[in-house]
Structure 1
Amino acid sequence: MTCFTPLADLLAREKPLLLPVAHDALSARMIERAGFAAAAIGGFGIIGCRTGLPDLGLASFGEISTAVRDIAAATGLPLIVDGDDGYGDVKNVVRTLRTYEEMGISALVLEDQVSPKKCGHAAVTREVVPVTVAEKKIAAAVAARRRPDLAIIARTDARLVEGLDAAIDRGHRYIAQGADALFVEAPTSVEELERIGRSFTVPLIVNAAEGGRTPVLTPEQYRELGFSIILYPATLLLRMVGLFERTLAALRRGEFADEGPLPAFQTLTSIMDMDAWMEIDRRHA
């Protein structure tokens, strides 16, 4: 089960904090086995893997929270969870916060897009709500949490809608409402990253989205620009899909693709805790 750990404690252990994004329970367990200090859960991967649909607001809170619950139950890592826009008004924001708080997550990301929200790096049009609406959602989440060290991370998508100045202004206003960290989505250059880094003193998140709008840099380069948390939203998914494509193309020809050494079947069952479950069977069956 996920281990609640305050965001400040995670950043004290590792800065920048590297967060691969899990799309299901198996990927979360593999992130844990690889030695990462924490993991993130994003709507893009969950929706794509569970439904085959794009991240365009097509999945409900019930669908996504069920997936998050599965992941949280499968890993001992602290989790930072994408809460989209809170799935409605301030009442829905509070329900979202409390649902995830009961699961033991360490941080919740809330964004300011108009519903239905859209992937921050996709080539689609998007809108943001009036800043006062987003401020009220952040304030509602801050007031509703029963665990005061559960971090509220404010995300703004205003960069691609209103420009960088507006995005920075929104960031300051969200922090004034009690947000513990900030995520300015989709800056398009190193210069913009540098300006964001200079503008804030709270922990800052950057999306290292391969093929996205934001420059993909090394962790040290992001740290020097002022970013404390690095999300890798599609790194696992892209490689999984690429491997599947090559493997299936070869299999269609009646061959096995040469992808280098494969894990032993026992490694797969170990990730699934096969031995622990079989011990229960041996003791009690």
Structure 2
Amino acid sequence: MYKTAWTGSASSLPSDRIKPSYSNTSTPRNQGKGKGKGRETPPPKSKQVREIESLLNALRASNAPIRDPKGGCFCQAREHALSPYTPICRSCGLILCILNSPQYCCPSRTCLSSLLSYSPHAKESLLHQLESRLSETLAKEAAERERVIEEAKRETGAFPSLPGSSLSSASGSPASTRPSTPQQHKVLSLNSKTKRVIVTTTTTTMKPSRPNNEKENEGDLEEEVLRVPPPPSQVTFAKGKPDPSRPWKNYRDGSVKYVSAAKEKAKKKEERKQNKKAKGKERADGGNEVQGS
């Protein structure tokens, strides 16, 4: 029987002999089986949120007040801001700056009392204050993110947004941190002497942009807080009885010898004469060497 391309499996056309290629497209059912693939990554925490959370964890974990391992700060709010939680020690009256955390005791060596011992409910009220402050900060940051996303949507208009566009970058998707492929640019130039066209290809590689949380962490590491050390334990004083004939005598640096101005001028004049003689002798010796050569 005569077979054509429509009647039999075998075909006489060359195009029908090419095997069709099937693309392995994944179904939505297979996509949902992976653990955590469909979940959105939470936004990075800001520096203020991390500070409040660390202070909350430290207060909850502290049962008895201990000394600050960093030694605290004795600037008395002159170098740093006043502490919003414990601005003063209720026992010794030391003014505390923001570097003195409330979970530690007073940094003074003669006091060492708890900064939250003035009231039995001081710790609970401070925890409640920090929790409310944390919730307010998180709400403000979430509202700011929503505002940025809505503003990006308004800028895109009615056109559909593609992956990796400004909308996806505003929402903090990982597409914005993906490194870009190197781009090649061709430049055509004409040689004035040979009248030939020269093609020059240049490749530019863009550095991938880092997320904001990495930049904030680097900024935290670069910041060095200068703490004011405690005052010395010993008071410097002058040893010895004052001399009535010399009431302005310096007893700290020891005895001082007086040198008259006339003797000092004569000494400097003698030194200048010696320097001139030494220079003249060097010039004479150098001239003799040149004549002999």
TM-score, normalised relative to structure 2: 0.20
Larger relative helix fraction = 1
Q: Which has the larger radius of gyration?
A: 2
Larger relative strand fraction = 1
The structure, 1 or 2, with the larger RCO (C-alpha pairs under 8 Å, 6+ apart) is: 1
TM-score, normalised relative to structure 1: 0.20
